[in-house]
Amino acid sequence: MVAKLLDGKKTSAKYVESFKSLIERVKLKYKKVPKLTVILVGENPASLIYVKNKQKRCEEIGISSEVIRLKKDVSQKKLLEVISKLNKDKKVNGVLVQLPLPSHIDEEVIINAVSPEKDVDGFNVINKGKLFIGDKSGFIPCTPLGILKMLGNYKIKIDGKKVVVLGRSFIVGKPMAELMLQNNATVTICHSHTKNLKDITKSADILISAMGVKAGMIKSSYVKDGAVVVDVAMIRNPATNKLVGDVDFKSVSKIASYMTPVPGGVGPMTIAMLMNNTIKAFLTQNNIENEDTQI
């Protein structure tokens, strides 16, 4: 068996075209477009790349975007003042604080300072709560939402399946598990204290790995024959300087039925869902009826 690729680039391209069409119609009818503001603190190399990619996709779709750059030593008070100003700015629909933040800043305080109505990352405690009670008016974190949409695009059945999620963060692991539960899967979350990890992962019909600890840690011996494997991690291999994931692609691709590449799998879908959430925020804030069922 050779795994079929879950191609995030191709899947996200479908959403991009849909979003472009929607924004063109909205712009023509209402004379305005969504606006996303990203706050970037410091010059973390990875963050610079992520922000550049987000801006590029906004431009492609027709979303107005800006980046507010703050120095690494900015005070938490000053950062909160910037967020407060954006919360009040009616021209700004989505506010995203690029993580990670410098160690002197409390990320939880900053995340919860962003207005829930503009929290397009879906990290604010209000949006977390809405996700876990099934309230669709909130925003779902972009990576889990992107994975769900990609599985749907490839018509991969979730209902009744055994799903194992590696990682328990509020960014990927926990919301991913909740989305799987809402789609009638039986879900197990594994983490650094899990015993007999291999036995658990080998039982999974769908294995979603979001650890980012050790490149290629998940070998074929961890994976059930015919399983669907989603690799969320992005780790730079020091030997080759290439980006790889948690999963050993070479060995696992020989027994999995479907598998995401790294890069080109989950990443493009994450950015597509950020666009999705920004458009949703814009439509809601302007009381515009949703003209696209994808959002």
Which residues does the annotation mark as catalytic?
54, 98, 121
Name the residue type at position 70: L
Distance CA 12, CA 92 (A): 24
Q: Across 24-161, where does the E strand assignment appear?
A: 35-41, 64-70, 94-97
Q: Which amino acid is at 228?
A: V
Which pair of tokens denotes residue 106?
Answer: 């409390």
Which helix (H) or strand (E) element contains residue 5?
A: strand 4-5
Question: How many other C-beta atoms lie within 10 A of the C-beta of residue 220?
Answer: 16
Terminal CA-CA length for the chain:
35
Cα distances (angstroms) measured from residue 19 to each of 11, 43, 197, 275: 13, 30, 40, 8
- Paired strand residues for 209: 166, 231
User: Which residues are bridge partners to 258 per DSSP?
Assistant: 4, 228
The span from the CA of 250 to the CA of 103, in Å, is: 37
Distance of alpha carbon 285 from the chain centroid: 22
